[in-house]
Structure 1
């Protein structure tokens, strides 16, 4: 059951008569090859529980962010439905009889997130407004008949035929068929609405028990308007406009770029048949900031991505697809990799559970704790007697581990409030020295001590120049941030910042400090150095005069507000140095933080060209066939044809002679079978090899390595250089 070449065709192997093995689930893959099955199983269950918690929090955030827009769309649908129900002869008083109410949803370029928005919108519409909601995509509506067929089939729950011939051919089938036309839809809609038992929209919908209007609207959602054919949309809208008197149609357009897409796609004669109302969703960057705030910047979530891991996830978001959904998928992958690769992640849980689990650590787990770099640094700082206890007594390590886990939890409770306060104070400074977004400041604090950077010093200098109203407003926000704090340090910081804010509100006279000695002399001498500049002087006296002017400015008396402002900035600086140390400085931080950014980048940031070149240069990496092992640079005669042709083309220049290429390929294949090139069956074998060679070259051209050229008819042009 082996194949000698990928170019021979498609092979089908019948299943063996042996008993089939049980399909492996996620837990089996997680625990496969593990040293301790029970611990791995516990970590997998803990990982699942944490992910379910994060997923529920994410869904809650997404519902809150899209609630305002969805409520507006629902209100628009209700008004349009009410207008249709109230109209008999006066429908034209609000809009022309042929106009179709249309909601244009500008959702942004984060296309992977649109499915969640449309799913939530469809569910809410079916629960509160109408059971007749249908969604279509451009890839399934290449022609008008396909659009009509999908629309009617999903709405009516029946088999829909496109023409009369198909209807006659399928008349013998037991399933009921309906001709694909809007007149048939009108008849079906009239029949459904007149049923005494109420509206029964379809087999798959369970909303028949809901109370709907007598004639609920029929809503069609175009998920990706930009991808639809202009001709298909025009014809469909023109047809639908002829049935607005009989059918309460309503369109919802999903737009990724700009509302101008409607004008570019449809002519004025068609857009005039639509009564369009625009709805704008929140920017995806704001959505991302909220998700990071709820999932990362909180002590309630035990799992934490490191600075480099967070940079990888945010980089993929900013430079690839702007998809919050994919960002959450990357965060889920980080969580899974952390629990799979770090055995001590069994302690990555809430404080009470972590302390209880630390009491049950096995000897092997205690040894792993001793090998952690952060714990080794902690041991080095202890007294010699304590070091001996930590290195020899497992029970003592368990006790210390419980205390360290509590300290780490307390560190996070102090870290995030001070981080938010620093962001509030610096996010509005000119040129944003510490970043405009919270995630930028967070990454800076995770990677190094932020107070040791030049950007931080620049931010403090700018804070010392803030106006009174700006500084007081920022301090009031900091007070609001620190109010929920439960630790003693946060309560002390709240009290101190509240006192400083109150002092800013007092009159300047009450805050005047005692006059400094020599201040009068400084004022009197303030103008003296300036008078010397009017006289003729040499370079030495000029330098002396400028130095005196500089010293006089330094000795100038500061106002009470400036003194209080400097005191406030110094206190903020002390809070930052006390609570914003990097996580690496905390013992046992490896339990909570996932740091393998390279693994995450390999999984998420695909490099298709590198993967293809690796597969063609070293097929053993994928096929795992011992016969394919060879030295670097050598061409294995048992390799697939595509790999042989690829390696041979690496030895050529910009233009490749097809005949020489074929001869080289034939030589390699002949060596594989041990044939004599001068044998009598050479012609027959050459035909087979010729066909295989052409097949391999075609595949190589499909992959983008070569192309045909008009310079020489028997040559191809090489498109890439180098290889793996």
Structure 2
């Protein structure tokens, strides 16, 4: 055997970046590889013809390289993986555009009021106080940067003068602030061909020191520009924007306002201040003399109570691309966090982004509803097997069996061609149902807007949550109750608003007939009133005729009122019938997993880790986090290593777990020294009793800091465990 010659082929796999070895790795020429790639992406373009009508061809070239792994244990084709990544990028861009529209909607109230403030203060006025705009964003609002950028663009477009944005991270002290102010003024002068020197004359340099961050530099720059006639004194304004003013030190801020007050006598200023917390904190920072130097006007964003409704309307309901939404579990988890903890819509937006990423990254069937047909080559037999394993499809098969349709159930499980046809039908049904639900939600939101009291009014977020939970049917009487108390004019206004909604005629075909019937009653009532007024003006009728006309008028009022009540009740019953028939949760439809992301645990693990479990794991098994050579359960290491190889806090924590509610510190120290001491090298300084005692005290303090133990008054030499930890 030793003389045998090896004649089998030997292959060597090299990195992809070595161009000279590619032919040996794949046994193909470079031309063949290029044609293979071109064929892959030409196949992708064949299956996205519907998207090409909405997006430019250049956008698809940016997604040619996929960062997604091959799923289904490597059986997913490269074509499907690349298409899945492309769908994710397109959906992410669509979601980004929807979020931008949402932020513009939230900002519109403040920006509109701010435009009036700018128009009133953009012309120079000789004032003793600095015109100041306070932007109250509040702690609940999260996207300050987007609003700051919008305000900055508006100021630059409407005010003639340099714009200086100051933030505590970039300008922490007075020198940095005025250095940026001076540099911005010089850049503004260069852009407008104002080549003005900011240095003093040689004769004046002997009088005082002239620094590049001296506020006097700004005043001299402005005065020289005015003297030369290079700028318009009436239109020029030096705009200073202080972002997140809470970050600045109080003494620094008061000193800065004092300097600006002196500058305002020579240079026209306009001051903007962004507050991220509350007005009380801002007032505590400023001294009285600083407040007197400012002519303050306040501008606020929309209240946080309306933020969830706006987010749901813009992102989940009225979006132009409703491909992926939040399921009931994740939706209620986020809503509870909003009401109890966060008080902002950041959790909603981050969850939707995470759901989009997780849905496409880890779900191979996420491309099914993005293909033109289930018969597409992108959907393989493995994709169909994944679809058959969905809970909604299993329930659909069970319903077929309960109905006795055994042939359809068997064909759905065994015949791929038949199953592909069923998939096309189910996808069409759930997409049409989603369109109906969007119209129904806006319809109910209009009805709730007729409530005068906010206590009885149901918000859009409440309606959407009950719909996902499939609990909306039991609350229909409460939701439709405003119709019973509407008068004729209110109902006409309500129907007019409802008919203005998109696709509402298809969902409520008889709504126009109700509008026509109520309009006829209103016109008849107005005509009767005109006749009654004309009869009273003539005064030519006798007393008997007057009584007869009055009785006839009252009878007509009763008839008209009774007819109106009958029509209103018919409208109520009609709407109730429509909603009970079609306003059904989409979670009851097959293949709803393609449209609704309902894994709340995945989101909580990513954004809200369980701190207690993480700390317990770190102290019990430090090898998960540290470069420790010992791991519990490792039989080989357990025989050769001792507990002394663990970090000292881990030793104390193990002894902590073995103790009762009250722990004797002396006994704990003795056990710690015995566990941490080594058998050899007893003279080592680190193993001395004094050193180990110091290590024990440090670990004891760290456990107290982490919330495991606390001091107790029962016994002075004992510590007590905190009950919520163990």
TM-score, normalization by structure 1: 0.72
Q: Deviations over 1:72-104 (max 9, x none)?
A: 4355345434215xxxxxx2xxx22xx211111
Q: In the aligned structure 1, how far is the partner of 2:116 from the partner of 2:563?
A: 56
Please state whether the residue corresponding to 2:124 is helix, strand or coil: helix
Classify 1:664/1:261 alpha carbon distance in 2 versus 1 (closer, same or farther; 3 Å): closer
Classify 1:657/1:621 alpha carbon distance in 2 versus 1 (closer, same or farther; 3 Å): same
Q: Deviations over 1:268-308 (max 9, x none)?
A: 32222112222222223434422321210146321111122
The aligned counterpart of 2:201 is: none
Superposition deviation, residue 333 in structure 1: 0.6
Match 1:495 to one of 498, 504, 509: 509
Match 2:166 to one of 112, 119, 136: 136
Residue 647 of structure 2 corresponds to residue 640 of structure 1: yes
Q: In the aligned structure 1, how far is the partner of 2:329 from the partner of 2:337?
A: 12
List gaps (5 residues or longer) in structure 2: 1-14, 19-63, 188-209, 526-559
Superposition deviation, residue 627 in structure 1: 2.7
Residue 397 of structure 2 corresponds to residue 379 of structure 1: yes
Classify 1:442/1:338 alpha carbon distance in 2 versus 1 (closer, same or farther; 3 Å): same
Give the conservation status (yes or no) of the 8 Å contact 1:433–1:458: no
Classify 1:20/1:251 alpha carbon distance in 2 versus 1 (closer, same or farther; 3 Å): farther
Q: In the aligned structure 2, how far is the partner of 1:442 from the partner of 1:390?
A: 33
Q: In the aligned structure 1, how far is the partner of 2:419 from the partner of 2:455?
A: 43
Classify 1:189/1:135 alpha carbon distance in 2 versus 1 (closer, same or farther; 3 Å): same
Residue 129 of structure 2 corresponds to residue 80 of structure 1: no
Greater alpha carbon shift after TM alignment, 299-308 vs 681-690: 681-690
* Superposition pairs of residues 276-675 of structure 1, within 5 angstroms: 276-298=296-318, 300-349=321-370, 353-355=371-373, 358=376, 360-382=378-400, 383-426=405-448, 428=450, 436-451=458-473, 453=474, 455-460=475-480, 463-481=483-501, 484-485=502-503, 490-507=504-521, 559-623=562-626, 627-630=630-633, 636-652=643-659, 657-670=664-677, 673-675=678-680
The aligned counterpart of 1:60 is: 101
Please state whether the residue corresponding to 2:142 is helix, strand or coil: helix
Please state whether the residue corresponding to 1:388 is helix, strand or coil: helix
The aligned counterpart of 1:100 is: 130
Give the conservation status (yes or no) of the 8 Å contact 1:434–1:441: no
The aligned counterpart of 1:721 is: 723
Give the conservation status (yes or no) of the 8 Å contact 1:630–1:636: no
Superposition deviation, residue 29 in structure 1: 6.5
Q: Deviations over 1:427-475 (max 9, x none)?
A: 5458889962111111101111521x2x334445664454444444333
Give the conservation status (yes or no) of the 8 Å contact 2:219–2:267: yes
Give the conservation status (yes or no) of the 8 Å contact 1:641–1:692: yes
Classify 1:59/1:558 alpha carbon distance in 2 versus 1 (closer, same or farther; 3 Å): closer
The aligned counterpart of 1:521 is: none
Please state whether the residue corresponding to 1:721 is helix, strand or coil: coil
Match 1:243 to one of 263, 268, 274: 263
Give the conservation status (yes or no) of the 8 Å contact 1:46–1:346: yes
Give the conservation status (yes or no) of the 8 Å contact 1:100–1:274: yes
Give the conservation status (yes or no) of the 8 Å contact 2:132–2:272: yes
Classify 1:327/1:240 alpha carbon distance in 2 versus 1 (closer, same or farther; 3 Å): same
Q: Deviations over 1:247-285 (max 9, x none)?
A: 332211113455555544434322221122222222234
Please state whether the residue corresponding to 2:240 is helix, strand or coil: strand
Residue 69 of structure 2 corresponds to residue 51 of structure 1: no
Please state whether the residue corresponding to 1:277 is helix, strand or coil: strand
Greater alpha carbon shift after TM alignment, 491-500 vs 686-695: 686-695
The aligned counterpart of 1:125 is: 155
Superposition deviation, residue 480 in structure 1: 1.9
Superposition deviation, residue 53 in structure 1: 0.7
The aligned counterpart of 2:46 is: none
The aligned counterpart of 2:195 is: none
Give the conservation status (yes or no) of the 8 Å contact 2:239–2:269: yes
Give the conservation status (yes or no) of the 8 Å contact 1:435–1:441: no
Aligned length: 599
Give the conservation status (yes or no) of the 8 Å contact 2:142–2:346: yes
Q: In the aligned structure 2, how far is the partner of 1:315 from the partner of 1:194?
A: 63
Please state whether the residue corresponding to 1:104 is helix, strand or coil: strand
The aligned counterpart of 1:42 is: 83
Superposition deviation, residue 589 in structure 1: 1.1
List gaps (5 residues or longer) in structure 1: 1-18, 85-90, 158-176, 200-211, 512-556
Q: In the aligned structure 1, how far is the partner of 2:627 from the partner of 2:487?
A: 69
Q: In the aligned structure 1, how far is the partner of 2:348 from the partner of 2:518?
A: 43
Q: In the aligned structure 2, how far is the partner of 1:193 from the partner of 1:699?
A: 65
Match 2:688 to one of 674, 677, 685: 685
Classify 1:583/1:154 alpha carbon distance in 2 versus 1 (closer, same or farther; 3 Å): same
Classify 1:637/1:447 alpha carbon distance in 2 versus 1 (closer, same or farther; 3 Å): farther
Give the conservation status (yes or no) of the 8 Å contact 2:65–2:82: no
Q: Deviations over 1:619-672 (max 9, x none)?
A: 3444596732249xx9954432222222323455677554433322222223xx
Q: Deviations over 1:504-532 (max 9, x none)?
A: 22238999xxxxxxxxxxxxxxxxxxxxx
Please state whether the residue corresponding to 2:722 is helix, strand or coil: coil
Give the conservation status (yes or no) of the 8 Å contact 1:224–1:255: yes
Classify 1:593/1:188 alpha carbon distance in 2 versus 1 (closer, same or farther; 3 Å): same
Superposition deviation, residue 332 in structure 1: 0.2
Q: In the aligned structure 1, how far is the partner of 2:330 from the partner of 2:218?
A: 53
Superposition deviation, residue 392 in structure 1: 2.0
Classify 1:275/1:506 alpha carbon distance in 2 versus 1 (closer, same or farther; 3 Å): same
Give the conservation status (yes or no) of the 8 Å contact 2:124–2:233: no
Give the conservation status (yes or no) of the 8 Å contact 2:307–2:344: no
Q: Deviations over 1:544-592 (max 9, x none)?
A: xxxxxxxxxxxxx993333222221121112112221111221211111
Q: Deviations over 1:377-428 (max 9, x none)?
A: 3334443332332222211211221122112211111111022212322454
Q: In the aligned structure 1, how far is the partner of 2:346 from the partner of 2:328?
A: 20
Q: In the aligned structure 2, how far is the partner of 1:384 from the partner of 1:390?
A: 10
Give the conservation status (yes or no) of the 8 Å contact 1:429–1:459: no
Give the conservation status (yes or no) of the 8 Å contact 2:130–2:295: yes
Give the conservation status (yes or no) of the 8 Å contact 2:132–2:270: yes
Match 2:700 to one of 697, 703, 712: 697
